[in-house]
């Protein structure tokens, strides 16, 4: 379990003080995967580096499985840090060492004997699917394979939690998917708790149970992935959602369509996905639904359906239709347009 309590981090430089992280609270329960998403400069890297105290928080407390890292003297902190594995965007492999040695060297430095080192290297290379590459050097590997070595290196120390600092940002979409599948597998099979930072909504979509949206050092919105994808409230969250699904229509088109009814975004989740609700409102309220965009988003813990619909009809009846949809468990958001854009 990872707990951050009111964590803040300030940097002092010649040009003044930068408050990179402000009063952040995070709680990742055992076996869960949580993700922090934000644009460049939001403070994500600083935040994740505060978890293993690569950056010492200016304020606040950090706990790993109940042990407060922020109160430990340095020798104890070094030991406890071994319980926190980390993977990076740039992989951080030793170029002059083989795949085997990249995993073995940190274990030797931690004092494990030769047999234990060999056992662990073989076990974790197998888990990441790279047994046949153990004599290769990093420059003989693809980006995805390099990240697999880095993951095996982190896991070989048998950490209790894993931190991921933009681990897929340097990878193409297909390789990203395979690394995310690997993270899901190790989470499932080894029960490892994961906290990751990313600027890619598809990473959140695919593997996270819970999401934090970060901006200017602050968590501006947080929720389970399902709730966040169903009812986003903060404009930044909505912007990130727009990056994975066609959700945006121009203001002038919305304004034009609103003359003859209402343009509404309907988000279906759980039971409401199985009902023919648009056909029902059409009959009950004499409105004609015209679907403008539609998509299905598959999350780690469920499916969310999104439809932007033009409900054509009498204004009062359109309102009633929207209320009816809400009563059936559909999240609705009326889109307002203006004609001068
Ligand atoms: N060592 C440092 N000294 C001074 N300011 C820093 C330092 N590290 C980060 N910052 C500042 O803190 C803020 C947050 O940076 P951070 O790298 O944590 O953001 P980020 O969300 O990870 O962005 P990116 O994805 O671009 O790395 C920025 O304004 C940055 O300039």
Residue of 45, 54, 88, 218 best suited for mutating to test ligand 1, as the one with most atoms within 8 Å of CB: 45
CA distances from 339 to 252, 323, 330, 336 (A): 4, 26, 28, 10
pLDDT (0 to 100) of residue 272 = 66
Show contacts of 130-137: CB within 8 Å, 24+ apart: 130/99, 133/99, 134/98, 134/99, 134/100, 135/98, 135/99, 135/100, 136/98, 136/99, 137/95, 137/96, 137/97, 137/98, 137/99
Which of 10, 40, 43 has the most ligand 1 atoms within 8 A of CB, as the residue to mutate?
Answer: 43
Ligand 1 atom nearest the C-alpha of 214 is 21
Give the nearest ligand 1 atom to 217 CA: 14
The backbone torsions φ and ψ at residue 60, rounded to the nearest 5 degrees and listed phi first, read 100, 175
CA 25 – ligand 1 centroid, Å: 19
- Centre of ligand 1 from the C-alpha of residue 45, in Å: 7
Q: Report pLDDT for 254.
A: 82
Q: Are 148 and 180 in contact (CB under 8 A)?
A: no
**What number is the ipTM of this complex?**
0.96
Spell out the residues 6+ positions from residue 315 whose beta carbon is closer than 8 angstroms to its own.
261, 262
Q: Say which DSSP state 65 is in.
A: T
> What is the value of pTM for the model shown?
0.90
What CA–CA distances, in Å, run from 262 to 26, 238, 325? 39, 20, 14
Q: What is the pLDDT of residue 276?
A: 82
* Ligand 1 centroid from CA 4, angstroms: 19
Domain 2-242, classified CATH 3.40.50.300, yes or no: yes
Q: Where are the domains positioned within the chain?
A: 2-242, 251-334
- 11 Cα–ligand 1 center, Å: 9
Spatial contact of 166 and 197, defined as CB atoms under 8 Å apart: yes
251-334 CATH fold: Alpha-Beta Plaits (3.30.70)
Tell how far the Cα of 287 is from the centroid of ligand 1, in angstroms.
51
Residue whose tokens read 């099979």: 189
Which protein residues touch ligand 1 with a CB less than 6 Å away?
Answer: 11, 13, 18, 20, 38, 40-46
How does pLDDT run across 224-255, given as a tens digit for each residue? 999 999 989 999 999 998 888 766 777 888 88
Query: Tens-digit pLDDT profile for the chain (341 aa)?
Result: 999 999 999 999 888 999 999 999 999 999 999 999 999 999 999 999 999 999 999 999 999 999 999 999 988 888 888 889 999 999 999 999 999 999 999 999 999 999 999 999 999 999 999 999 999 999 999 999 999 999 999 999 999 999 999 999 999 999 999 999 999 999 999 999 999 999 999 999 999 999 999 999 999 999 999 999 998 999 999 999 888 876 677 788 888 888 888 888 899 887 666 678 888 989 999 999 998 888 888 899 888 988 889 999 888 999 999 999 999 889 998 888 765 54
Q: Is there a common fold for 2-242 and 251-334?
A: no
C-beta separation of 83 from 160 below 8 A: yes
Nearest-CA residue for ligand 1 atom 13 is 20
**What is d(CA 254, CA 247) in angstroms, rounded to the nearest whole number?**
12
* 8 Å CB contact between 98 and 104: no
Cα(20) to centroid(ligand 1), Å: 6
* pLDDT at residue 247 in the model: 63
Tell me whether residue 260 is exposed, middle or buried, using C-beta atoms within 10 angstroms of its C-beta: 0 to 12, 13 to 18, 19 or more: middle
Pocket test for ligand 1, best of 8, 19, 20 (most atoms within 8 A of CB): 20
Q: Name which residue sits closest to atom 31 of ligand 1, judged by CA.
A: 41
Alpha helices in 112-249 (DSSP H): 114-127, 143-156, 173-190, 201-207, 225-230, 235-242
């Amino acid at each position: 379990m990872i707990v951050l309590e009111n964590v803040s981090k300030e940097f002092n430089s010649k040009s003044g003080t930068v408050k990179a992280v402000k009063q952040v609270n995070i709680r990742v329960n055992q076996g869960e995967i949580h993700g922090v998403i934000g644009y460049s400069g939001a403070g994500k890297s600083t935040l994740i580096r505060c978890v293993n105290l690569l950056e010492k928080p200016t304020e606040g407390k950090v706990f790993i499985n109940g042990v407060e890292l922020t109160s430990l003297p340095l020798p104890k902190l070094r030991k406890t840090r071994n319980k926190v594995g980390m993977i990076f965007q740039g992989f951080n492999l030793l170029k002059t060492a083989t795949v085997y040695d990249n995993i073995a060297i940190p274990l030797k430095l931690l004092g494990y004997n030769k047999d234990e080192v060999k056992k662990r290297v073989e076990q974790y290379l197998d888990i990441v699917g790279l047994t046949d590459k153990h004599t290769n050097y990093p420059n003989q590997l693809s980006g995805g394979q390099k990240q697999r070595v880095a993951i095996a290196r982190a896991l070989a120390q048998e950490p209790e939690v894993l931190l991921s600092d933009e681990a897929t940002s340097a990878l193409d979409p297909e390789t990203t998917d395979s690394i995310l599948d690997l993270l899901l597998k190790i989470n499932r099979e080894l029960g490892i708790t994961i906290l990751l930072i990313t600027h890619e909504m598809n990473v959140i979509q695919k593997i996270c149970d819970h999401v934090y949206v970060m901006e200017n050092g602050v968590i501006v919105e947080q929720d389970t992935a399902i709730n966040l994808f169903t009812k986003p409230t903060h404009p930044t969250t909505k912007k990130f959602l727009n990056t994975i699904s066609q959700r945006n229509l121009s203001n002038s088109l919305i304004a034009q369509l609103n003359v003859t009814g209402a343009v509404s975004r309907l988000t279906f989740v759980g039971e409401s996905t199985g009902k023919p609700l648009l056909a029902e409102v059409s009959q009950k309220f004499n409105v004609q639904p015209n679907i403008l965009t539609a998509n299905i988003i598959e999350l780690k813990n469920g499916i969310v359906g999104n439809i932007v619909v033009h409900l054509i009809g009498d204004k009062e009846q359109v309102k009633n239709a929207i209320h009816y949809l809400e009563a059936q468990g559909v999240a609705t958001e009326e889109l307002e347009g203006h004609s001068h854009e």
